[in-house]
């Protein structure tokens, strides 16, 4: 979804056939909707009609959010100092336990960010079981070891493994998205993601085959289709998200971003490279802001609409200071940077409830394993949700 | 106990109700307010872990839930449950700056130990278990690829080539397990005076290096150094160490934001350069040792290294921590000391 935050992405050579999958360590909770949540906006099929709130669900109006049309911003209450302590203990225990604790560390980190994200004074909740994550990680580490060894010993075996990887990719992405969604909740109602492996495979033809074939000219169309694909298969409880943007609007946004990229190139040459980093962050801030605003403003969940007020200047300041802080503190300010990013990005996303936040129904759900999710984590790619 | 405020969610809708909660004997938890009023066994309630000051979620057996910011009250209610003990311990560790700094020191110490001892020792151990056929597979097409891109056939006079082969086979015959190694002579303008070893057992020496050497002792030194790389299985160990480094860095930075992912390439590069220098030193030691056994004066190793360094010029100014080889001056000094 909207917040790819590309200034913070670096391609990872180790990721093998990472044709379009870019590394991103942006916590998923920063991807739309606060809690990783595929919460773009809500549109409902089964949710109650707002003129008849008593019909299907609760008959009590939601006190905090009853007035339709009131703007409800997300709030983020995390503190850099507090998160620093959690972060360093997480790292320490992960190393001392040879990585086993990292599954528990991940759950604590996500619980911290989700739990500090408030919508209408209710916190988001991350519910994944660390043991499921650990199992997923073990499978992925083993798979990755076999893959990289095969490629080094015999290029042909490496190629065969790459094809196997492409074959399981749709399954991996569906499972990862599902695991994340199902383990995210707000007001005791879980999110969900429902997509078939076959339709995911068909969708992947676009980034894997068509975008490279057209030398990237299809990229804005892919960016648009990606958001639509993931949003329209995401649910809050039983209520699906909908997406109203047009491909043309994405082309316009990326065209303007491309002009910014030219500014970055020319500016870098003129300043003999000194201006390259700030200019690049400016370009990325412009692109991320434009795409995020476009995406959020066209996302619906039931009667709920979303708004996003990220500005190029604001994102530039955020990322520029974060980069300087992290680099010059040798990484020790990373928790501070993460909290700053969450605060800026979340607090500038708001909801315009046309429906009541209290009127969403839950859906029956089954358990989902974490293998897909951990593949996403470990191989270092971002499914671009 | 004093009632504390919470929000109740029934788990069927996103409806929110303001309630009060309190513990009441015998071992029950009461939830009351806004159309809700029930009590249940404390043992049947599943409280979420305490993470910082984030709100706690108490899950009831029927799928409903309460959310509260009163962490201390929740801790008091569930104080007796053994399932809560590990979580409480970790929270206590995370709640004081002093303890957190202890974690920082521990992390630094563990990383230092892993980098200096753990990873190299582990790689050496794993390499000793792996069969030599792995290296043959690794380097199978390497020479053919280099021949296409960088190397040309040697232009040395046949007599000189024969002399080089004699020096090489004389060295190899004295070293246990080195029987399969081969010498390959090549010319390369791009590489200049250079020598390197390929995992499949080939030692490649450029004409330019042969011409740079002032006597055969210097050539023996270079050959011994390259045979040292092969004998100590440096390429396989380097592959293993680099993979372990990537995993270690992923483990440390996996918990960071992505800004750091950009910066995390830097420690990986620095570490790989450090390991490379360590291997060079190991090969140097092997070379000096071999030379001693063959009665070749140790300082000829230093002499050719310094001459190669001069030839390379500007590259010599790269600081040690960035370089894949130790500074030539340092290596030359050690070769002098080895006498």
Residues B165-215 have pLDDT tens digits of 888 888 888 877 777 888 888 888 887 778 888 888 888 888 888 888 888
- A90 at interface of B, judged by CB pairs closer than 8 A: yes
> By C-alpha distance, which of A2, A74, A77 is closest to A38?
A2
B115 part of a folded domain: no
Q: Which residues of B are less than 8 Å from A78 in CB distance?
A: 52
Mutate to test the interface with B, among A57, A88, A277, A346 (most CBs of B within 10 A): A88
Q: Which residue has the higher pLDDT, A69 or B293?
A: B293
Last residue of a domain, one of B81, B116, B144: B81
Percent of chain B residues topping a pLDDT of 90:
15
**Going by DSSP bridges, is the β-strand pair B56-59/B46-47 parallel, antiparallel, or unpaired?**
antiparallel
- B156 and B54 in a common domain: no
Query: Helix B328-337 vs helix B265-293: angle between axes, to the nearest 10 degrees?
Result: 30
CB-based contact A338 B54, cutoff 8 Å? no
- B240 and B147 in a common domain: yes
Q: Which residues of B are less than 8 Å from A141 in CB distance?
A: 247
Which DSSP category does A13 fall into?
Answer: G
B158 part of a folded domain: yes
B317 part of a folded domain: yes
B16 part of a folded domain: yes
Please state the length of chain A.
385
- B250 at interface of A, judged by CB pairs closer than 8 A: yes
- B299 and B224 in a common domain: yes
Q: Does the ipTM exceed 0.90? A: no
Q: How many structural domains is chain B composed of?
A: 2
CB-closest option in A91, A95, A359 to B14: A359
Helix, strand or coil for residue A131? helix
- Which pLDDT does position A28 carry in this prediction? 39
φ, ψ (nearest 5 deg) of residue B10: -80, -10
Q: Order of strands across the sheet with B182-187? A: B152-153, B182-187, B202-206, B195-198
CB-closest option in B16, B96, B97 to A122: B16
8 Å CB contact between A3 and A31? yes
pLDDT above 50 for B112: yes
- A86 at interface of B, judged by CB pairs closer than 8 A: yes
- A361 at interface of B, judged by CB pairs closer than 8 A: yes
Mutate to test the interface with B, among A18, A95, A381 (most CBs of B within 10 A): A95
User: Which domain range does residue B39 map to?
Assistant: 4-81
Q: Residue B27: which CATH number? A: 2.30.29
- B295 and B160 in a common domain: yes
CB-based contact A188 B54, cutoff 8 Å? no
- B268 at interface of A, judged by CB pairs closer than 8 A: no
pLDDT above 60 for A57: no
- B336 at interface of A, judged by CB pairs closer than 8 A: no
CB-based contact A338 B99, cutoff 8 Å? no
- B317 and B192 in a common domain: yes
φ, ψ (nearest 5 deg) of residue B280: -60, -45
What is the tens place of the pLDDT at every residue in B74-86? 988 988 777 778 8
CB-based contact B97 A105, cutoff 8 Å? no
- Quickly state the pLDDT bin for A370 (edges 50, 70, 90): low
> By C-alpha distance, which of A378, A1, A381, A8 is closest to A184?
A1
**Inter-chain contacts counted by CB atoms under 8 A, chains A and B:** 206
Mutate to test the interface with A, among B56, B258, B270 (most CBs of A within 10 A): B258
- A357 at interface of B, judged by CB pairs closer than 8 A: yes
- B271 and B162 in a common domain: yes
Report residue A57 as tokens.
């669900």
- B131 at interface of A, judged by CB pairs closer than 8 A: no
- B77 and B188 in a common domain: no
B92 part of a folded domain: no
φ, ψ (nearest 5 deg) of residue A367: -75, 145
Helix, strand or coil for residue A355? coil
pLDDT above 70 for B22: yes
What is the tens place of the pLDDT at every residue in A30-55? 343 333 332 333 323 233 333 333 33
B251 part of a folded domain: yes
Instruction: Scan residues 11-40 of A and list those with Cβ closer than 8 Å to B.
Output: 14, 23-27
Q: What is the mean pLDDT of residues B40-68?
A: 92
CB-based contact B257 A337, cutoff 8 Å? yes
- B178 and B55 in a common domain: no
C-beta neighbour count of A278 within 10 angstroms: 17
> What's this model's pTM, rounded to 2 decimal places?
0.74
CB-closest option in B9, B49, B263 to A187: B9
- B139 and B77 in a common domain: no
C-alpha–C-alpha distance, residues B40 and B65, integer Å = 12
Last residue of a domain, one of B56, B81, B106: B81
* Alpha carbon distances (Å) from A33 to A173, B7, B148: 19, 21, 54
CB-closest option in B12, B97, B107 to A91: B107
Q: What is the mean pLDDT of residues A267-277?
A: 83
- B295 and B184 in a common domain: yes
Q: Which residues of B are less than 8 Å from A235 in CB distance?
A: none
C-alpha–C-alpha distance, residues B116 and B134, integer Å = 26
- B155 and B46 in a common domain: no
pLDDT above 80 for A8: no
B116 part of a folded domain: no
- B295 at interface of A, judged by CB pairs closer than 8 A: no
Mutate to test the interface with B, among A59, A77, A84, A92 (most CBs of B within 10 A): A92
């Amino acid at each position: 979804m909207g917040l790819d935050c590309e200034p913070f992405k670096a391609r990872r050579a180790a990721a093998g056939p990472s044709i379009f999958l870019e590394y991103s360590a942006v916590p998923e909770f920063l991807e739309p909707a606060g809690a990783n949540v595929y919460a773009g906006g809500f549109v409902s099929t089964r949710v109650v009609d707002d003129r008849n709130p008593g019909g299907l669900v609760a008959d009590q109006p939601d006190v905090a959010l009853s007035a339709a049309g009131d703007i409800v911003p997300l709030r983020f209450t995390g503190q850099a100092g507090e998160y620093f302590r959690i972060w360093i203990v997480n790292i320490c225990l992960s190393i001392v336990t040879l990585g086993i604790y990292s599954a528990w560390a991940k759950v604590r980190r996500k619980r911290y960010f989700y739990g500090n994200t408030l919508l209408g004074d209710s916190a988001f909740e991350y519910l994944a079981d660390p043991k499921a994550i650990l199992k997923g990680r073990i499978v992925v580490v083993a798979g990755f070891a076999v893959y990289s060894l095969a490629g080094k010993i015999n290029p042909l075996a490496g190629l065969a493994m790459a094809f196997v990887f492409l074959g399981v990719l749709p399954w991996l992405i569906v499972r990862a998205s599902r695991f994340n969604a199902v383990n995210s909740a707000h007001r005791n109602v879980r999110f969900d993601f429902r997509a078939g492996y076959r339709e995911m495979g068909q969708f992947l033809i676009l980034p894997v085959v068509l975008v490279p074939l057209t030398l990237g000219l299809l990229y804005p169309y892919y960016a648009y289709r990606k958001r639509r694909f993931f949003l329209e298969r995401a649910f809050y409880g039983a209520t699906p998200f909908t997406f109203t943007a047009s491909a043309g609007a994405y082309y316009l946004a990326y065209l303007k971003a491309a002009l910014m990229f030219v500014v970055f190139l020319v500016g870098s040459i003129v300043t003999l490279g000194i201006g390259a980093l700030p200019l690049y962050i400016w370009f990325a801030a412009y692109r991320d802001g434009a795409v995020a605003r476009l995406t959020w403003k066209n996302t619906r969940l039931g009667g709920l609409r979303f708004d996003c007020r990220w500005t190029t200047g604001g994102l530039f300041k955020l990322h520029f200071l974060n980069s300087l802080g992290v680099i010059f503190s040798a990484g020790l300010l990373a928790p501070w940077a993460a909290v700053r990013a969450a605060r800026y990005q979340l607090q500038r996303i708001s909801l315009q409830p046309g429906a009541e936040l209290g009127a969403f129904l839950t859906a029956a759900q089954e358990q989902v394993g974490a293998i897909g999710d951990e593949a996403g984590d470990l191989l270092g790619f971002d499914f671009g949700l | 106990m004093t009632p504390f405020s919470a929000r109740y969610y029934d788990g069927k809708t996103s409806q929110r109700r303001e309630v009060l909660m309190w513990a009441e004997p015998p071992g029950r938890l009461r939830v009351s307010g806004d159309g809700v009023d029930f009590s249940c066994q404390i043992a049947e309630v599943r409280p979420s872990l305490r993470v910082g000051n984030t709100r706690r979620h108490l899950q009831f057996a029927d799928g409903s839930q309460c959310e509260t910011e009163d962490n201390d009250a929740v801790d008091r209610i569930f104080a007796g449950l053994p399932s809560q003990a590990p979580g409480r311990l970790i929270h206590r560790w995370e709640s004081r700056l002093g303890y957190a700094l202890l974690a920082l020191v521990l992390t630094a110490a563990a990383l230092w130990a892993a980098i200096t001892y753990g990873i190299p020792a582990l790689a050496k151990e794993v390499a000793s278990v792996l069969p030599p056929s792995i290296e043959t597979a690794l380097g199978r097409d390497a020479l053919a690829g280099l021949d296409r891109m960088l190397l040309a056939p040697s232009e040395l006079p046949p007599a000189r080539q024969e002399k080089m082969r004699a020096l090489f086979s004389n060295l190899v015959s004295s070293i246990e397990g080195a029987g399969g190694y081969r010498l390959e002579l090549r010319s390369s303008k791009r590489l200049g005076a250079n020598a390197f070893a390929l995992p499949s057992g080939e030692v490649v020496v450029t004409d330019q290096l042969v011409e740079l050497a002032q006597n055969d002792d210097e050539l023996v030194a270079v050959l011994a150094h390259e045979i040292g790389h092969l004998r100590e299985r440096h390429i396989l160990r380097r592959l293993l160490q680099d993979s372990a480094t990537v995993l270690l860095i992923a483990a440390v930075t996996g918990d960071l934001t992505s800004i750091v992912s950009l910066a995390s390439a830097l420690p990986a590069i620095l570490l790989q350069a450090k390991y490379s220098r360590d291997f060079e030193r190991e090969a140097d030691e092997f070379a000096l040792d071999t030379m001693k056994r063959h009665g070749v004066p140790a300082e000829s190793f230093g002499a050719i290294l310094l001459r190669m360094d001069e030839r390379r010029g500007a590259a010599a100014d790269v600081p040690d921590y960035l370089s894949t080889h130790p500074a030539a001056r340092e290596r030359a000094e050690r070769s002098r000391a080895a006498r």
